[in-house]
Structure 1
Amino acid sequence: MEIRTESYKKGLAVSTIFNVASKAIAFLSNLVIAYYFGATFHTDIYFYIITIFNLISYFITSVTTSVIIPESMRIREEDNDLCIHFLNKFFFLFTSIGVVFSLIFCLFPVSLFSVISKYSVNVLLENKLTLILGSALFPIIIATNFLNDVLISYKIFTAPMIVTAINSLFIIIFIIFLHSVLNTQSLIIGYASGYVFNIGVLFFLLKAQLHWKFSLLSSLRIRVQGKLWHDILYSQSGSIVSILSSYFPIYLLSSFDGGIVSAVNYAQKIAYIPHYVISSQFAVVVGVKFNELFARKEYADLNQTYRRAVEFILFTIIPFSLFLFFFRNEITVFLFNRGHATSQDVIHISRLLGYFSLPVCLIAVNNIFAYLCFSAQIVKYSFLFQIATNILSLLSIYPFIKMFGYIGYPLNVLFVFLITLILFPMVFSRLLSHINLKIIYWYLIKIVFVNILLIGGTYYVVHLLNLNTFFTLCIGFISSVLLLLLFNHLFKINQDISFLIYHLNRYLKFPFRYLLKN
């Protein structure tokens, strides 16, 4: 099968389909974990180590999308071979850093994790093999993340989603067939096997599709300009605070009873489904478009692209977020009230799901803000703003958890992203003077108000019918979607959605006409 570079419209459509499939499989893997193991200290350790190493990996490779990829695209316009060597240089650099970290953690797993978590030494000793396997996997996670970003920069949007799906399948297979033999260690072994397979697939795609050459000596000879190192330093400095603001809540949560970290992971995965499926992939594709429009100085098109992107994201994400909030109990019971998950696990997950669902639309908009800054190459100012918001998160997370318990975590996320949403258009209006950043405010209020009425009303009416959980969810979801589409048809809240519905309607009326043309 040949995976070719894709246009933006086709790339967005096809990659979104693949993204939905891959995230569905990834979500299924979490349901399988919950079914076979519930929420215990053992699953907590698994999710904790995966979170920690993904955070460190993100810190090392976050500079890729903010600095390295935009610079590589500029180099590619002049010399593609030089671009390949340029990217290889950072690939070897980041992977080498990962190897060093991996060796340190493999040698002292219990000692180091007793410092970076609040788990007891006895709990860590029981899960020592999980700690060692996770540590050994670290450089492969870094390499995979970097190569995924490279493929996206070449407009191969679908390949990373295929890789993610394969990784999740490995986890599911290992749990189903080996859980009785390996217990919870089957989780990390399946995760590791999936990543090993992934890296092989990525190397194959780079060789087959882009004729990539991994030449260490040629890559090391590439000289990097001082300004680029300066931008990298700024970007990484901002990432340090970002990583700390993501790590500190998990560290605090590790002091709670066994199963809380797992419950947070389960709830967050459900709540962030709209973000994973729609906005994250949408932002990646739009971000590449931002890069091109900024490079060509086509500011009118840039402003229109930004406006349409924000309106599309808000129109599609907010209904999902509010549906998850209103129907949180039904969703949790339907998904988790079986297997080894206890009634207390279900209560924890339901409470967390309700609060985690609220900031999802704000996270989606923040992604678009980030890609605007990357494309405009205002890394220094973006870095300062990022530091400020993450310091706010660090300062506020402890009192939030102190006051509200584990629910303080999602409440703090909501608080920080609300502040970010308010401040970003104000702070960056001059730096991004070609873009009307403040357009977001009125549109956000309008969409939230409409969906509270529609979904809240649907929730109330559906519960009057006294149906079982499955039919309550089905009727509630279908009714909410149809009411929103009808409202949009009558009042034209989003023209892009109306355009998509119009063409979908034409296709459904005359499906064979399109086939006959081909």
Structure 2
Amino acid sequence: MKLKTLAGLIGIVTLINLLTRFMGFIREIIIGTQFGTSSMADNVVLAYTIPNFLYLVLGGAITTSFISIYNKIDSDLNKEQFKKVILTYSSIIVLVITIILLVFNNKTISIMFPGVVGEKKEILETLFFITTPSTFFLVLSMWFSGVLNIHGKYIGASLSTFINNLVFILFVLLAYPILGVYSYGWGALLSALIMFLLLFIELKKGGFLPFSLSLHYSNKSDLIRMSKILIPILLGGATLQFYFITQRFFASYLTEGYIAAINYATKLVQLPQTILMTSVTTIIYPLLAKKAANKEFSEIGKIFKKGDHLLVLYLIPLSIFVYFFSNDIVSFIFEYGSFDKNSTDVTSAMLKIFVIGMHAHAANMYITRFYYALEKAIYPVVIGLLSVFGLNIFISYYFLDSMGADAVAWGTTISAYFQYFTLLIIGKYKLNLDIRLGTTNFHYLLIIISQCLIMFIARPSIKFNISLLNLFLGGILFLITYLPTLHFLGYSIKLPKRKGKVNAS
């Protein structure tokens, strides 16, 4: 494939992925408009927590480990057999998990969300029962997308996810007057089924999917190798999702609406870091893998330093802006219909805490890629699990009674930074990453202090009744103060004439 063609393909896929993320965000806005921060909003969020978790974590682990082994199999015949066996075992495993969730519906909710009781729990049980079958279609759809990708069919795989979100939104808008809150369950199931069928048809049309199932594969060593890869990917990739699970576990004990408020806040924090990390995952990781294969370790160190530098320059100042204008951001995006002023206040309070950790979450995703590329996956897996199930749970549990929902938010934020700095220190010795303290770190401190002072002093004067106006004026203030600060510290942001990339050095 020619370089221009590849670049164009990456651009199209990235655009589709961004549109997909945007559609997913629209879904959250619709939930807010219809339910605000009520118990119904909580139930909708909780109902698709487990199916979404399995889709992203189990589906992602199966797909990534499958691709890794599939590309190393020499014989085309063995490749087809391997594909057939993985489809068979994956289908059986996911089907069994789905049936267990359906049969033990009540028990699952009691264990995962113990604070949900009474009528709220009854509604959640019904909604969860409707939503759960989507798990089967979602996880297999992830694997189908992976199969399409290894055959160079990137656009079809990306479009299916976009259509999934689009169908979900359209169904909810049309069916809500009839089905009420249960339209979300049926919408999740229908959209997952349609995505599954679209991918299935695409695979069959291209001849990429086996016409039969099989439990036998001649080269068992490939299956063993895939299992060894799958487990660390499963645990490592689950870190961020485990944060969401623990957040909702502890928030279920709080006053109704906090589960929804935490969900809205985390979605706002995720949006910019997801957009940024999509490009990083698409472009940097393949480059890292190539450098690692060629043992160009000094180049890997330079790539890390440059990327880490850019994450600080872009995300930390953005975090400061979001912190000071959190109320206006939430009001402008969500405050419609049932999402009233009280919902805005509750959500913006959560957003202020979560956004402090925005850089840490993005940086964790970034540095983890270096561990994977250099085949040191055990470190991010262990540190991630310690952060989520150690420090995060300790803070949430110990301070829940005294701090309420703030304890849940701080648990996520503090443990994310613990995870980042621990990976950074280990990376210095195990990956030879350059994390020396010096002028650059002093510059970062100056940027943080100066932007916080500017926003703290100027924010009280930007207090109009129109949120959009406040955000517009705040944005101008941000640009006219931050860019000169960068220039003063010796950094520059250049916009090349022919390329749309932003370059900060």
- TM-score range (shorter-chain normalised) is 0.7 to 0.9
Deviates more, 1:456-465 or 1:15-24: 456-465
Q: CA deviation at 1:353?
A: 0.9
Residue identity opposite 1:32 in structure 2 = I
| Structure-2 change in CA distance of 1:165 and 1:60 (3 Å) | closer
In structure 2, what is the Cα distance between the partners aligned to 1:343 and 1:367? 34
The residue aligned with 2:97 is 101
In structure 1, what is the Cα distance between the partners aligned to 2:2 and 2:146? 16
Residue identity opposite 1:182 in structure 2 = L
Deviates more, 1:472-481 or 1:441-450: 441-450
In structure 2, what is the Cα distance between the partners aligned to 1:465 and 1:293? 49
| Structure-2 change in CA distance of 1:206 and 1:479 (3 Å) | farther
The residue aligned with 2:303 is 305
| Structure-2 change in CA distance of 1:403 and 1:128 (3 Å) | closer
Q: CA deviation at 1:343?
A: 2.9
Deviates more, 1:453-462 or 1:283-292: 453-462
Q: CA deviation at 1:407?
A: 1.3
SS in 1 for 2:37: coil
SS in 2 for 1:214: coil
Deviates more, 1:484-493 or 1:395-404: 484-493
Residue identity opposite 2:496 in structure 1 = Y
| Structure-2 change in CA distance of 1:122 and 1:463 (3 Å) | closer
The residue aligned with 1:335 is 333
Residue identity opposite 1:384 in structure 2 = V
CA contact (8 A) 1:7 1:155 kept: no
1:450 paired to 2:447 = yes
CA contact (8 A) 2:19 2:162 kept: yes
The residue aligned with 1:396 is 395
Match of 1:386 among 374, 384, 387: 384
The residue aligned with 2:39 is 41
In structure 2, what is the Cα distance between the partners aligned to 1:299 and 1:415? 31
The residue aligned with 2:106 is 110
The residue aligned with 1:223 is 219
The residue aligned with 1:130 is 127
In structure 1, what is the Cα distance between the partners aligned to 2:387 and 2:278? 20
In structure 2, what is the Cα distance between the partners aligned to 1:222 and 1:465? 69
The residue aligned with 1:513 is none
1:162 paired to 2:162 = no
| Structure-2 change in CA distance of 1:458 and 1:244 (3 Å) | closer
In the TM superposition, 1:197-276 aligns within 5 A as 197-207=194-204, 211-217=207-213, 220-221=216-217, 223-225=219-221, 226-236=224-234, 246-276=244-274
The residue aligned with 2:405 is 406
The residue aligned with 2:22 is 24
User: TM-score when scaled to structure 2?
Assistant: 0.85
The residue aligned with 1:474 is 472
SS in 2 for 1:99: helix
Residue identity opposite 2:372 in structure 1 = F
CA contact (8 A) 1:358 1:414 kept: yes
In structure 1, what is the Cα distance between the partners aligned to 2:5 and 2:361? 26
The residue aligned with 2:496 is 502
Q: CA deviation at 1:109?
A: 2.1
SS in 2 for 1:503: coil
Residues 86-130 of structure 1 show CA distances to partners (whole Å, capped at 9, x for unaligned) of 355334323322211212222342343233322114323234431
1:358 paired to 2:352 = no
List gaps (5 residues or longer) in structure 2. Answer: none
| Structure-2 change in CA distance of 1:458 and 1:413 (3 Å) | same
In structure 2, what is the Cα distance between the partners aligned to 1:459 and 1:149? 47
Q: How many residues align?
A: 496
Residues 60-110 of structure 1 show CA distances to partners (whole Å, capped at 9, x for unaligned) of 2353476444333434xx456644653553343233222112122223423
| Structure-2 change in CA distance of 1:175 and 1:353 (3 Å) | same
In structure 2, what is the Cα distance between the partners aligned to 1:215 and 1:449? 62
List gaps (5 residues or longer) in structure 1. Answer: 508-518
Q: CA deviation at 1:367?
A: 0.8
The residue aligned with 2:169 is 172
In structure 2, what is the Cα distance between the partners aligned to 1:445 and 1:153? 45
Task: State, as a whole percentage, how many aligned pairs show the same letter.
Answer: 15
SS in 1 for 2:15: helix
| Structure-2 change in CA distance of 1:11 and 1:375 (3 Å) | farther
Q: CA deviation at 1:362?
A: 1.0
In the TM superposition, 1:424-435 aligns within 5 A as 424-433=423-432
In structure 1, what is the Cα distance between the partners aligned to 2:497 and 2:429? 39
Residue identity opposite 2:360 in structure 1 = L
The residue aligned with 2:285 is 287
| Structure-2 change in CA distance of 1:146 and 1:228 (3 Å) | closer
Residues 234-273 of structure 1 show CA distances to partners (whole Å, capped at 9, x for unaligned) of 5556678886664333112111122111111111111211
| Structure-2 change in CA distance of 1:347 and 1:174 (3 Å) | same
Residues 307-346 of structure 1 show CA distances to partners (whole Å, capped at 9, x for unaligned) of 3332233333223322211100111222233211233222
Q: CA deviation at 1:137?
A: 1.0
Residue identity opposite 1:145 in structure 2 = M
Residues 446-472 of structure 1 show CA distances to partners (whole Å, capped at 9, x for unaligned) of 346425524752574365254432111
| Structure-2 change in CA distance of 1:194 and 1:506 (3 Å) | closer
| Structure-2 change in CA distance of 1:176 and 1:149 (3 Å) | same
Residues 170-219 of structure 1 show CA distances to partners (whole Å, capped at 9, x for unaligned) of 232223222221111112222222222222333344456x6513354468
Deviates more, 1:6-15 or 1:288-297: 6-15
Deviates more, 1:287-296 or 1:224-233: 224-233
Match of 2:183 among 178, 181, 186: 186
Give the alignment's Cα RMSD to 1 decimal. Answer: 3.4
In structure 2, what is the Cα distance between the partners aligned to 1:487 and 1:158? 41
Q: CA deviation at 1:51?
A: 1.4
In structure 1, what is the Cα distance between the partners aligned to 2:13 and 2:441? 26
Q: CA deviation at 1:349?
A: 0.4
Residues 22-48 of structure 1 show CA distances to partners (whole Å, capped at 9, x for unaligned) of 222221221111112222222212211
Q: CA deviation at 1:276?
A: 1.9
The residue aligned with 1:510 is none
CA contact (8 A) 1:318 1:448 kept: no
Residue identity opposite 1:416 in structure 2 = S
In structure 1, what is the Cα distance between the partners aligned to 2:66 and 2:426? 25
Q: CA deviation at 1:274?
A: 0.9
In structure 2, what is the Cα distance between the partners aligned to 1:12 and 1:447? 32
